[in-house]
Every structure is written in C-alpha cells, then in structure tokens.
Structure 1
C-alpha cells in the first residue's frame, strides 16, 4: 500500500501524512484549504526523526517531507468521486470534521448532517479500496472509567452522536475499520482561528509563567499524535472492523497539567483545579477514556508501542523552546491552557469547525 488519500488536513491528518511519507509511501491530503506545515515530533525509539513538512504541490528545498494536496469539500458527493478517481488511492483515511465538540453541541443538526453526508460520500467514492475512519471516545456517556470495543455506546454529546452515526455508515463498506481514539496531544503551532490541543497550550502557558485552569473531574487516556499516526497506518493495511486507541494512563486534565508543570519546571501552583461543568468542557463526558481488548496483540504484531504522557511530553517542551525562539523569547499561546473555545471557521474537509482540544 503506497498511496493513501487522507481526507482532513488538520492536526491528525497532517501527522498521518508525515508518518506515511517517512515510511516511503505517498500521502495525498484532501481538504478545503491548503494545510499548514506539520509540526516536528519526536519519533519513537528505532524510527527516523521526522522533519517539517510543507503540504504543497511544490517541493521546498528546506523540507524533505512533502505531501500532495488536493482541494476537497467532503460534503460534495461529486467532488469526492472526482478526487478518488484522480488520485486512485490504495486506501482512504477519513479524519474530517466537524470535530469541535462545543461547536457541535451548539449546532447538533448541522454537525450530524455534515458527518453523515461526508462519510456517505467517501464510502460511495472509495468503492472497494480500503477505508479507515478516525472516530472518538465521545460515543460513550462517560459513566464507566474505561470503555473497550465491546462496551455499549451511549453518546455523551452531539459530536459523539454524529460520529456514531458516521460509524454506522462506514460499516456498510466491505473493507473498513473504525479507529476510535482518545484525547490526542502533541506539538501544535498556533494559527489564527485555531487553538492548539490542551497539552500544547498548557505547556506553553506554564513555561511562560501563566496560570492554567484545568478540570479536576474530567478524565482522559491521552494519546500522542505520533502514535495515532503510526497505529492508523498499520490499521489501514489490516485491522478488525472496530479498534480502540487510548494512551496507557488514565488521568484528569488537572493532574496532567501538573505533570506538565513539572516538565516545564513551572510551579504547580500555576495550575488551578476547576469543575468540568464550569467551562468549555461541560459537554464532554466525565470519563473520555478508552481501553482495548485487541490493541495489545496488534501492537506486538506491528512492532509498535504507545507512549505515556511523560515520554510524549518531551516533544512539547522542545516545541515550546522553538516557539519562544521564533517569537523573540515571548510565548504567544492562549491563556488558561487554551480553555477559551474558539468557534471561528476551521478547515475540516467539509464546511464546519474542527480541531478538538
């Protein structure tokens, strides 16, 4: 499998493209607007360290990894068919939005229609080519501390309902896998209209001496974006119809923020515990946590591992240092760990906001 069409040019889509490029494959990113440059991420032991990737048609002399990019609105059926016909991919990975949980909660019908329409278009256009869809832990209500592939679904919010409906459409494809992932983190450059993921925002704020307000009653199993990318590329070759990917640790956002304070050598007193219901995480399930009955054996077969948050956070510190250097020693990240929701339009491969935090 060499050519993969990746629908969605956001944080996860770009990471998958970079991982495929390093593996010698040919990623083609498809989304409404030209994606931003991919962040550098520390590769797991034994893998070549990635470099920056500029997702443009031209090869930049200062960027060794370059992904092809095609413009696509995934809610346009004719557009999806045309892109698949032109690209002729060996497989398709769907990472399209809208995935801003708060936006979806405020626009539940629009979120549902966007996910259903885009997913149905991709299933029809893909034909018999292999299909992988990235889904979410929000398909569960958050009552149980952990959910595996056999746990009954009960979406906690509009985003989870839209994704679960899209999963049903994907399962009508003859050769498809749904990969549900937990909260994704890693280096992420702030861009206008988009806020970095929770961990990246926290690390920058803490290193700059700014306070972070984080829920003490919202639990996650964070997974590094680099691990999402490598597992997705392994799963798109062959995997069960449904697979869960979460990090090896279950911890609250507040506890995670304190771990990041230790990493950045910031005082833990900068981290203030808040209630989930008091801020932008009110519509998230209390437990956004995934475990898997199937993944451990698959990781062994694939020769992969999923790193814990301390190992994964090493990238965040390097990213903070690089970002501060480019800003002349001033870190320009969003106060309060990126907790302020940003509902401006974002690139999703569709029509609505994306980029969950």
Structure 2
C-alpha cells in the first residue's frame, strides 16, 4: 500500500462521525423515482426488493449478475466500481434520482488477507461514485468495524479507530462520500436473516445448517454484536434515502449478545444439543481480526420522525420466527 494511503488512514483514525443534518431546500418524495444500487449481494438485494415493492424503479449494478432470489426481476447493469469511466457511464445511462452504495467485499476475514483489494474496491469505488454523483443524494451502508471494539457499544459521536482492513477500507469510503455533502452513511451492526442461496451465508444461516447436520461448532466466546435483521436494514435504508438527511447514523439491534449465546439459542430453537457449540477464544480463529465489541447504538435515531415505525427487532425473537 502506498505511503499516501497509509498516511491518510492514520489521519482518518482520529475523526469523529459527521453529524446528522437535513440538506437545505430538500423536498424529496416518499420514494425517489429511480434508484441505482451499487452492489448486488444479500443486503443490496433486500434493499432493491423493498424499493421495488414501494414503487421505485430500481437498478442493481455489479461486476457479476445477482443470483439471490431477492434480486429476481430487478433490472441489472454490469459495472466495475473501481473503474471511474464505467461508473460515470453507468450514472449517465441510468440517470438515477438517488444512489445506494453497498459495494465491495464484506467478508472481513478475506479483507484482512487481501487489504489492497479491499481498499481499492471500497475506497476506490466510493471515490468514483462521488465523482459521478453530480449532487444526487447517496446512502452508503457502512459497518461497526470502523471502531476499535474496546467499548461495549458505539454511538454516532464515538471516535473511529478501525483495527482491521475491512474497517479501514469502509472508513475511507465514508470520508470520500461525506465530502460530497450529499451523503448519508448508515453504519449497521451484524446483519442476519435466512440466506439459503448466497456464496457465504450469514452467521444465523451457517449455524443452522451446521447444527442440522449435527456438526460441532467452535464459536468465539469473546465476541459481541448487536445483530440487526436484514429487513430492518432495508426498511431504514429505503426510508432514510428520501429523508434529505446527510451525515452519519447507526443501526444496531436492541440486544447486545455474544456469538456463543446466540448459537446456543439457535440450537435450543432447533431442538439440537447445545453442547455442539464449543466456546473458543477469538484468537486463532477466523474472528481474530474482528473487534471484540462490534456493537452499535444510535444517539439520534429515536428523535427522527421517519424512523418511528421502524424499530429494530430483537435478535432472539426474530431468530425464533425465522427457524421455528
């Protein structure tokens, strides 16, 4: 990685989040007419499906065509976000009213092993998106990994200090888009839901599959999250993108829970022996690069009128509903 990128990362580590504000003169409709989504994975598919149900003209874009059922029937265009000319051409072709950025690899362990590629896609993609926005509102879905994990949970005013490659790449993407003054960064905690078609299922789906095969699972006993259901993320994203707000907002579930406790709850709901869950230290596992506390809460969401009907679900209640 170049010295310029390393220097910029160090500079960013002591930045606090941009405060949430309302764009001057904003008079957006309930759902903008045409939405371009950069990305076509699990979360992008759910956002696209919700927007489509609400009557928006939605376009997904990515290097490879989407394969998840949520994306079925949604218009798709090919793009490599690391190519400035491709992103500019896509923006000209689609002429969106608003943009959602859910691009780049989300496998934290993979990013740690491929930091240059992760940074190039997340930050480089955001830079290209910013250059092509031409004043359009953009919502970037970001992560709890922009924090060190030393505190139990992080609100919007907390100091950022990423400790892994994924967090550094996402924080760089945040700064790039926030500098346009038309961006809302929605940081989300661990996203879960039933995911039976994706190449890398989320924690809930992976645990269910392994337990149904009676496989022993080694799960870290020193890693906590505030998990948020994928439909809650989609609801917040589609609501906020037409709110005219810019800055940073956090979405975490109402329950802080350790991975072991969550996995044991899943086992109990399935009627499977919870002793299949073997508590293991994070160090030496795929979770080693993750912050100890990947937990978020919001200091401002409760005061936002547009979110009053979108309270995040409790992970244990939703888990029961998903797998029972």
Tell me if 1:242 matches 2:248. Answer: yes
Structure 2 match to 1:278: 284
109-118 or 90-99, which deviates more: 109-118
Structure 1 match to 2:15: none
Q: How big is each residue's C-alpha offset from its partner over 1:305-327, in whole Å with a ceiling of 9 and x where there is no partner?
A: 21011232245426xxxxxxxxx
State the Cα distance separating 1:240 from its structure 2 match.
4.0
Q: Secondary structure at the match of 2:253?
A: coil
Aligned partners of 2:320 and 2:34: how far apart in 1? 31
**Structure 2 spans left out of the alignment, 5+ residues:** 1-31
State the Cα distance separating 1:29 from its structure 2 match.
0.3
Scaled by the length of structure 1, the TM-score of the pair is 0.79
CA contact (8 A) 1:203 1:316 kept: no
State the Cα distance separating 1:267 from its structure 2 match.
1.8
Q: How big is each residue's C-alpha offset from its partner over 1:189-243, in whole Å with a ceiling of 9 and x where there is no partner?
A: 245xx22011111122223322222111000000011111110111111234100
Structure 2 match to 1:21: 52
Aligned partners of 2:87 and 2:47: how far apart in 1? 20
RMSD of aligned alpha carbons: 1.5
Alignment of 1:279-298 (within 5 A): 279-298=285-304
Structure 1 match to 2:163: 156
Aligned partners of 1:17 and 1:153: how far apart in 2? 29
Instruction: Give 1:165's match in structure 2, choosing from 172, 175, 188.
Output: 172
Instruction: Give 1:96's match in structure 2, choosing from 98, 103, 106.
Output: 103
Aligned partners of 2:216 and 2:233: how far apart in 1? 29
Structure 2 match to 1:62: none
Q: Secondary structure at the match of 1:133?
A: strand
Structure 2 match to 1:110: 117
CA contact (8 A) 1:299 1:305 kept: no
Structure 1 match to 2:258: 252
Scaled by the length of structure 2, the TM-score of the pair is 0.86
CA contact (8 A) 1:186 1:315 kept: no
State the Cα distance separating 1:246 from its structure 2 match.
0.6
CA contact (8 A) 1:148 1:293 kept: yes
Size of the alignment, in residue pairs? 292
Q: How big is each residue's C-alpha offset from its partner over 1:55-82, in whole Å with a ceiling of 9 and x where there is no partner?
A: xxxxxxxxxxx21100111111111111
CA contact (8 A) 1:207 1:265 kept: no
Alignment of 1:80-95 (within 5 A): 80-95=87-102
Aligned partners of 2:322 and 2:154: how far apart in 1? 28
